[in-house]
Structure 1
């Protein structure tokens, strides 16, 4: 379900976006960053290696993902 909702965004399209590092990030640099886009989509990228690009998600699949992480079902 999550893979079907994802699309790649170019790094330049998201320059200047107010990225936030995950509060679940550990001390081993295993971090991700998230930004809520004006379009309602959500973008995620790897903090330490941005070369693979950014994944963007529509609001409904993003909320399903966040809910699954919070309730421990994922």
Structure 2
């Protein structure tokens, strides 16, 4: 199994299927995510698809998404 680590080039993550939100900017300014075999999630900037990927555990992503749904980050964009 490939070792996937924070900061590795997103294009080096074998078998990654990158996806973005339906609400993303059509000009390509968005964040893309890929589910990893161990349950973790890789995140990349769509403007730099071969740039570095940040890798989060399943638990970290759950906490982030729950916080976003609860409005914990609304002040960052308002």
RMSD in angstroms over aligned alpha carbons? 2.1
Residue 40 in structure 1 maps to residue 30 in structure 2: no
Maintained 8 Å contact 2:20/2:33: yes
Structure 2 unaligned residues grouped into runs of 5+: 74-78
Aligned to 1:19: 18
Aligned to 2:64: 65
Greater percentage in helix: 1
TM-score, normalised via structure 2 length: 0.70
Greater percentage in strand: 1
Aligned to 2:76: none
- The 1-side partners of 2:70 and 2:25 are apart by 20
Q: Kindly tell me the number of residue pairs found equivalent between the two proteins.
A: 69
- The 2-side partners of 1:27 and 1:66 are apart by 22
Give the Å deviation of 1:16: 3.1
Give the Å deviation of 1:42: 0.4
Q: Larger relative CO (CA 8 A, sep 6+): 1 or 2? A: 1
Structure 1 unaligned residues grouped into runs of 5+: 1-5
Give the Å deviation of 1:28: 4.0
